[in-house]
């Protein structure tokens, strides 16, 4: 039907007859400035730039500060492509990258991976979605990232928005490029034949050394790592975890867990723990003499680790028993008393460990056990607060998990080997020189300061060495500075005499 226009009528009134002419065919919106089109060329350029940066920073060296710079560049590129959303991901990534800046080790590398994933998810989702959902999204990113790379690789041969098969795309590619490529090669050969300068360039290019296959594989590998972070806006729907559905009906516990069983258990457990606490008060805190043939070191060694396992089991039972104490004040008081006694047991374990270390010295395992005992005591304190404030088990699990991660994060900034060497060489203990000489290079300043001739005849730690600035680590840098300060303090002849036999270290 033809449109009927009345001359002289305003255009706004003329368009009121839309019902006479069906739906108005509006022109498609201009998408020249949409993020999709605007970033169509930015992403490949950023990919090439980040691959080149990765090659410069990571190829042929032991990763160190270079790995931190590379990951920060990847998150920054993702942030730029997200139009400035999710800036907190940059901060979270930087915080989790710091342990790797301190020292390259397995645990710091895990934190680096977590920082890259969690920071990328924060940027991709445009904000923090809570610890639970963000962690799930990070796991989903690990799963969907390789699939996204494969989908985008398959889509390079065509850009049709409608579903298409690979064979059709190959056919269109062949038909569209056969003539220009074929004639172009012919023209190129004729022009090279006619131009001697271009022919010389071609001969030089043929003699150039091409990258080895392993380096090309390295480029492809980091491209697979980089590309999903440049496509976070397209992966947003896949990164978003599904809606969590509430539990259907009440949770059913095993039949052995009932009110009477919990009450009897708490009474029995309080009595058992009271006996153990009393013995610790008499022997550890009160200084009473032990049975004949038993030393305090033996008493401490036999009880430190089993008590920690006991505390863990006690904390787990407290979490399970808490729902049964909600309506019974006496039972709740018994549960709190038992948790307090468990905390006292953990403190006794710390004292036992201190006594044992005072005789036999520090080791890595003993240092880790001490940190673990402090974490267990903190977790039991959270359990006691949960019972008092009627918090859920999920509340306790989240904070206990965060406490454990915080302890691991902080422990990575402590030089265990240097602390062990300092303690063992400055205290009167039954030392093991072989163990001290087997420590890493971080212990070398303490060995040279307190026992310069201890490891002369043994295979001792060597000074850290970084062949390239990309291998730099903050701990190795501190070690080298300490060694330089020691060399400046000790005159050369004195240093030589000490290495020739004037033993200045304690006698072992």
DSSP per residue over 262-281, as a string? HHHHHHHHHHHHHHHHHHHI
User: Tokens representing 378?
Assistant: 């903190």
For residue 488, what are its two tokens?
């400046």
Measure Cα distances from 41 to 45, 70, 368, 490 in Å: 6, 21, 50, 61
Distance CA 366, CA 420 (A): 10
Cβ–Cβ under 8 Å, residues 345 and 276: yes
| Residue (of 246, 239, 247) closest to 133 by Cα position | 239
pLDDT of 97? 93
Asked if 380 and 343 count as a contact pair (C-beta separation under 8 A), the reply is yes
Burial of 382 (0-12, 13-18, 19+ CB in 10 A): buried
Burial class (CB in 10 A: 0-12, 13-18, 19+), 338: buried
For residues 144 and 133, what is the distance between their CA atoms, to the nearest angstrom?
16
**H helix runs in 390-491, sequence order:** 393-411, 416-426, 433-437, 444-450, 474-489
Alpha-carbon radius of gyration of the chain? 34
**Token duo for residue 136:** 């799930």
Torsion of CA 389, 393, 396, 401, to 10 degrees: -170
Q: Is 39 helix (H, G, I), strand (E, B) or coil?
A: coil
Burial label, 407 (beta-carbon count in 10 A; 0-12, 13-18, 19+): middle
At residue 208, the pLDDT reads 56
Nearest-10 crossing angle of helices 474-489, 88-102: 40
392 C-beta neighbours (distance < 10 Å), count: 11
Q: Which residue has the tokens 């509006």?
A: 26
8 Å CB contact between 219 and 48: no
CA separation for the pair 72, 78 (Å, rounded): 10
Residue 464 DSSP symbol: P
pTM: 0.70
How far, in Å, CA of 319 to CA of 387, rounded? 9
How far is it, in rounded angstroms, from Cα 37 to Cα 10?
A: 37
Structure confidence at residue 418 (pLDDT): 92
Phi-psi map region of 126: left, alpha, beta (phi>0 left; psi -120 to 50 alpha)? left
pLDDT the model gives residue 76: 92
Which pLDDT does position 90 carry in this prediction? 92
Q: Do residues 378 and 403 lie in contact, with contact meaning Cβ atoms separated by under 8 Å?
A: yes
Q: Beta-strand (E) ranges in 35-189?
A: none
What is d(CA 438, CA 52) in angstroms, rounded to the nearest whole number?
Answer: 39
Terminal Cα distance for the chain, rounded: 109
CB atoms under 10 Å from CB of 225, counted, come to: 18
Contacting residues for 479 by C-beta, under 8 A, at least 6 apart: 418, 441, 442, 444, 445, 463, 464
pLDDT along the chain (508 residues), means of 10: 53 48 45 45 84 88 87 91 84 92 89 91 84 81 73 57 50 59 64 64 61 78 84 76 52 64 82 82 68 63 69 80 79 87 86 84 88 89 87 86 91 92 88 85 88 72 77 86 82 45 35
Cβ-in-10-Å burial (0-12, 13-18, 19+) of 264 comes to exposed
482 close to 75: Cβ distance less than 8 angstroms: no
The tokens of 142 are what?
Answer: 């690990």
- Per-residue pLDDT at 474: 87
pLDDT at 386: 87
Yes or no: say if 308 and 373 are a contact pair by the CB < 8 Å rule.
yes
* CA angle at 184 for the pair 178 and 187, rounded to the nearest 5°: 145
């Amino acid at each position: 039907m033809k449109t009927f226009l009345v001359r002289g009528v305003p255009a706004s009134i003329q368009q009121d007859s839309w019902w006479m002419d069906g739906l108005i065919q509006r022109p498609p919106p201009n998408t020249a400035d949409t993020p999709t089109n605007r970033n169509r060329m930015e992403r490949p350029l950023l990919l090439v730039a980040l691959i080149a940066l990765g090659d410069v920073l990571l190829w042929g060296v032991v990763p160190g500060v270079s790995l931190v710079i590379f990951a920060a560049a990847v998150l920054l590129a993702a942030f730029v492509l997200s139009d400035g959303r999710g800036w907190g991901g940059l901060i979270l990534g930087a915080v989790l990258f710091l342990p790797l800046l301190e020292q390259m080790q397995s645990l710091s590398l895990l934190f680096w991976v977590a920082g890259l994933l969690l920071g990328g998810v924060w940027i991709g989702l445009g904000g923090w979605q809570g610890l639970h959902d963000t962690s799930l999204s990070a796991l989903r990113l690990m799963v969907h990232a390789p699939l996204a790379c494969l989908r985008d690789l398959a889509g390079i041969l065509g850009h049709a928005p409608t579903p298409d098969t690979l064979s059709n795309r190959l056919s269109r590619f062949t038909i569209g490029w056969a003539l220009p490529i074929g004639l172009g090669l012919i023209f190129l050969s004729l022009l090279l034949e006619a131009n001697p300068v271009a022919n010389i360039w071609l001969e030089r290019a043929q003699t150039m050394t091409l990258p080895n296959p392993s380096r090309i594989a390295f480029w492809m590998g980091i491209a697979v790592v980089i590309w999903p972070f440049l496509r976070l806006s397209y992966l947003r729907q896949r990164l978003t975890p599904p809606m969590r559905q509430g539990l259907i009906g009440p949770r059913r516990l095993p039949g052995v867990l009932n009110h009477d069983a919990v009450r009897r258990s708490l009474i029995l457990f309080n009595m058992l723990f009271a006996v153990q606490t009393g013995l610790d008060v008499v022997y550890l805190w009160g200084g009473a003499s032990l049975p004949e043939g038993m030393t305090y070191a033996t008493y401490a060694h036999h009880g430190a680790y089993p008590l920690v396992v006991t505390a863990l089991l006690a904390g787990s039972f407290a979490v399970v028993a808490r729902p049964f104490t909600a309506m019974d004040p006496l039972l709740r008081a018994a549960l709190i008393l038992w948790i307090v006694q468990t905390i006292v047991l953990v403190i006794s374990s710390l004292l036992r460990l201190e006594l044992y270390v005072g005789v036999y010295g520090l080791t890595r395992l003993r240092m880790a056990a001490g940190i673990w005992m402090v974490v267990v005591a903190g977790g039991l304190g959270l359990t006691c607060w949960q019972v008092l404030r009627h918090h859920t088990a999920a509340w306790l699990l989240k904070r206990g998990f965060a406490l454990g991660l915080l302890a691991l994060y902080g422990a990575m900034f402590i030089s265990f080997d240097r602390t062990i060497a300092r303690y063992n060489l400055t205290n009167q203990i039954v030392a093991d020189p072989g163990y001290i000489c087997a420590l890493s290079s971080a212990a070398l300043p303490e060995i040279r300061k307190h026992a310069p001739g201890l490891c002369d005849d043994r295979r001792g730690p060597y000074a850290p060495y970084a062949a390239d600035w990309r291998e730099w680590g903050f701990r190795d840098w501190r070690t080298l500075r300490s060694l330089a300060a020691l060399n400046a303090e000790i005159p050369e002849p004195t240093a030589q005499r000490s290495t020739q036999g004037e033993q200045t270290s304690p006698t072992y």
